Structure 1
């Protein structure tokens, strides 16, 4: 969890290059519990997907979101 610019971010890091849908479902449940407005599943994926509030992406792409 990160608190940035008044928002709560739920972030999970996985070693896999192929996160499964269940991985994101678990992140969503945890994010709901903490009231996160942004949700990111960081892995070694080469094909990021999502948007600025909810995404599955690799570390360089996630760091780009941090500014």
Structure 2
């Protein structure tokens, strides 16, 4: 019997304002690793998280 893929998958969240903002505290892009349930959230995930490079809470979007 073949193994099935799990419902929970690992995703990466990336800061949206780091790409556009040149006046950052430090260089780089803030990224978070988390998991999501495919059945409950089939769309791309967006969460408000703290970005250490921008030094404020910003929206982080799911990337591939």
Identify the TM-score tier after normalising by the shorter chain.
Answer: under 0.3
Normalized against structure 2, the TM-score is what? Answer: 0.25
| Higher relative contact order (CA closer than 8 Å, sequence separation 6+) | 2
Determine which structure has the larger helix proportion and give its number. Answer: 1
Determine which structure has the larger strand proportion and give its number. Answer: 2
Q: Which has the larger radius of gyration?
A: 2
Normalized against structure 1, the TM-score is what? Answer: 0.25
